[in-house]
Amino acid sequence: MNPVKEFMKYQNELISLRRDFHMHPELGFEEKRTSKIVKEYLEELGIKTKIMAKTGVVGYLENGGEKTIAIRADMDALPIQEENEVSYRSVYPGKMHACGHDAHTAMLLITAKILSQKNFEGNIRFVFQPAEEGLNGASKMIKDGAIDGVDSIFGLHVWANLPTGTIAITPGPVLANVDSFKITIIGEGGHGASPHETKDPIVTSSHLIAALQTIVSRNVDPMKKAVVTVGKISGGTAFNIIPEKVEMEGTVRTFDPEIHELVEKRIKEISKNITKGFGCKAKIDYKHLNFATVNNEKLAKIGREVASEFLRVIEEERSMGGEDFSEYAKIIPGLFAFLGVRNEEKGIIYPHHNPRFNMDEDALICGVAFEVNMALRLLNS
């Protein structure tokens, strides 16, 4: 029997859970309400739980045997004002589930419900993680023991680029290394009418931004991928005053370790030399946030076999976005798949992190079917 049809009886509950989470978004490490619901839901199924990483929840479904697998869902929302006119719109101003973590949480709860009713040998760890959006909740879950004794882990992310009825499962790197940088350009301020008496950090910053863009176009092999983006710049207090300093912040995305190292090196070199040429100084704060998410080839093969029974499998889908699922996949074999939720006929066309992001809820039961069948296949393989 097609597992999607088999599990359709859970669809209303699945959508209800997702909409409730959507209406009550909570930012990283603030997911108290969400965590409480998850914990109580699992315990009602007879699944013992443990709180980790402040607001994370791990459920333990233990049927004996040697194998233990984990399924991960993230729970946090984003600081975005929702613009969707829907009945389940966020009730919290300035907070929104604009990336689909509400769906991830709801799908894994229904998956846990179904698996708790199945007979199988082995153990399943349900990892409900807080603070994926830039706060690296994964590393804190790992530190607290979320994947201790786990043989492999997989997770799903709803994907706005792919239509309902599809799932992308790609071996190797699928999401990028994520770095951030903050450059403070320090000059000498003065009157806007006497620029010759200053060391202008605003003019310097404009040249620096342009120069940073040449890293990708002139230093990186065109056959390899990299992104350098300056997303924030601030400086100055009035139209006729040249300020003492300007601050700019940005992000770097790469896949290849050598390119990763090259881009960081060039950002630091260019920043120091450009600012020096204009008589200013550069203070550089460069951070590695997430490493690339790399799918285990064996798990990808199994995932494609499972999904192809009821979904159209996209075999090549990568993104320069980042995910702290990479922290788990560095330690144990991991698989991160993308579930299509786009539906142009329903007007569901907006990307992740957009204030009008939404999803085709009919796709979510497909995600549950994948999680259930993938878990059982891994335990039996």
Residues 248 and 296 in one domain: no
Residues 96 and 58 in one domain: yes
Residue that is last in its domain, among 262, 290, 318? 290
Percent of the chain with pLDDT over 90: 97
Confidence of residue 381 (pLDDT cuts 50, 70, 90): confident
User: Which CATH number do you get for residue 188?
Assistant: 3.30.70.360
- The answer to whether residue 218 scores a pLDDT higher than 80 is yes
Across all residues in the chain, what is the average pLDDT? 97
Residue that is last in its domain, among 290, 308, 325? 290
Confidence of residue 106 (pLDDT cuts 50, 70, 90): very high
Q: Which of 56, 66, 57, 45 is nearest to 114 (CA)?
A: 45
> Residue 66 phi/psi, 5° resolution?
-85, -30
User: Which CATH number do you get for residue 161?
Assistant: 3.40.630.10
Residues 170 and 227 in one domain: no
Confidence of residue 132 (pLDDT cuts 50, 70, 90): very high
- Contact yes or no for 114/10 (Cβ under 8 A): yes
Residues 224 and 154 in one domain: no
Q: What is the pLDDT of residue 60?
A: 98
Q: What is the pLDDT of residue 228?
A: 98
What radius of gyration, in Å, describes the C-alpha atoms of the chain? 23
Q: What is the pLDDT of residue 271?
A: 98
Residues 54 and 159 in one domain: yes
Residues 261 and 280 in one domain: yes
Give the range of the structural domain holding residue 9, as residue numbers without chain letter: 3-175+292-380
Q: What is the pLDDT of residue 267?
A: 98
pLDDT tens for residues 78-104? 999 999 999 999 999 999 999 999 999
Residues 6+ apart with CB under 8 A from 294: 172, 173, 174, 326, 329, 334
Q: What is the number of domains present in the chain? A: 2
Q: Which of 181, 204, 202, 184 is nearest to 247 (CA)?
A: 184
Query: Is the full-model pTM beyond 0.95?
Result: no
Residue that is last in its domain, among 290, 313, 335? 290
Residues 301 and 157 in one domain: yes
What is the C-alpha to C-alpha distance for residues 230 and 249, in angstroms, rounded to an integer?
6
